[in-house]
Amino acid sequence: MVAKVQIAIDGPAGSGKSTVARLVAKELCYRYVDTGAWYRAVTLIALRQGINFDNQPALNRLAKTMLLEVKTKGDGWPLYLLAGKDISAALRSPQVDDKVSQVAKIITVRDQVSEKLRAIGNQKGVVMDGRDIGTVVLPDAEVKVFLTADLATRAKRRKRELESRGFSLPLSAVKEEICQRDEKDSSREVAPLMPAADAYIIDTTNLTVDEVVASIVALVRGME
Ligand code: CDP
C-alpha cells in the first residue's frame, strides 16, 4: 500500500485553494481541512457576542474554548457546526471577511488554532489549505504548493463565490477587500502569508481547476 503524505496548500484570497484542495483530497481519498475556518469561527463568535476586536485576551479565550465541529458532506465540502448549528455560510460572510485578519494576527490565537490543526495534520493523508501550512503548521509536509493568480482573476472568483452564497457586492468592493486582507496577512509579524522555501508555486490565472488539481496529484504520485 502507498504511504499517505501531508499536502500543504497556501496562497492569497481567491487563489482557488479550497476548491483545488477539496478535489485533490477527493482524488487521493485524503481528508480536506480548510484551516481558515478556525480563524473565521473565532471571528464569527466575536461578532455575535459583540467582543471588541482589540480585546486580545477575550479573543484568545474564544479560540481556546471554541468547540468547532467539522463534518464532511457527500460532495467533500466541510460542514461546520457550533453547538449543533450549521455555521458554514455565516463563516464566509463579508462581515467575517472584513475582520478575520485582525483575529488571525494575534499570536496566542494562532498558537491555539495551530495546535488543533497539527493534531489533525499529524494523522497524514491530509490536504490542508491556508496561509502558513507549509511554513508553520506542517513544515515537514511532503508536498507544499503555493497558489497564486492575478488580482482581477481572484476578485472575480471571490465575487462568484459570494454570489453563490447570496451576497451581492460590486467587483470593486470585492477587489478592495481581498487586497486589504492580503496586505494584512502578508505583513503581520507572526506566520505571514508567504511561500515555503520548498513550495511549488503555481500561477492559476490561466489554468482550469482540473489542470491545477492534476498537477498537484502528479506531484504526489511522483513521490510514491
Ligand atoms: O478562502 P480565503 O482564502 O478567502 O480565506 P480563508 O482561507 O478562509 O482564510 C481567512 C483568513 O484567515 C485569512 O485571510 C487569514 O487572515 C486567516 N488565516 C490564517 O491566518 N492562517 C491560515 N492558515 C488560514 C487562514
User: Which atom of ligand 1 approaches the CA of 37 most closely?
Assistant: 8
What's the pLDDT score for residue 215?
97
**How far away, in angstroms, is 91 Cα from ligand 1 center?**
11
Q: What is the pLDDT of residues 95-111, one digit of tens each?
A: 999 999 999 999 999 99
Contact 92, 44 (CB under 8 A): no
Contact 54, 197 (CB under 8 A): no
What's the pLDDT score for residue 63?
96
User: Which atom of ligand 1 approaches the CA of 15 most closely?
Assistant: 3
What the block records as the C-alpha cell of 24 is 485533490
Q: What is the pLDDT of residues 121-165, one digit of tens each?
A: 888 899 999 999 999 999 999 999 999 999 999 999 999 999 998
pTM of the model: 0.95
- Is residue 224 predicted with pLDDT exceeding 80? no
- Is residue 183 predicted with pLDDT exceeding 90? yes
**How far away, in angstroms, is 69 Cα from ligand 1 center?**
18
- Is residue 194 predicted with pLDDT exceeding 80? yes
pLDDT band at 74 (very low <50, low <70, confident <90, very high): confident
Write the CB contacts of 63 (distance below 8 Å, at least 6 apart in sequence). 38, 42, 108, 109, 112, 113
Per-position DSSP letters for 153-191, written without gaps between them? HHHHHHHHHHHHTT----HHHHHHHHHHHHHHHHH-SSS
- Is residue 1 predicted with pLDDT exceeding 70? no
**How far away, in angstroms, is 217 Cα from ligand 1 center?**
23
Q: Which residue has the cell 453547538?
A: 83
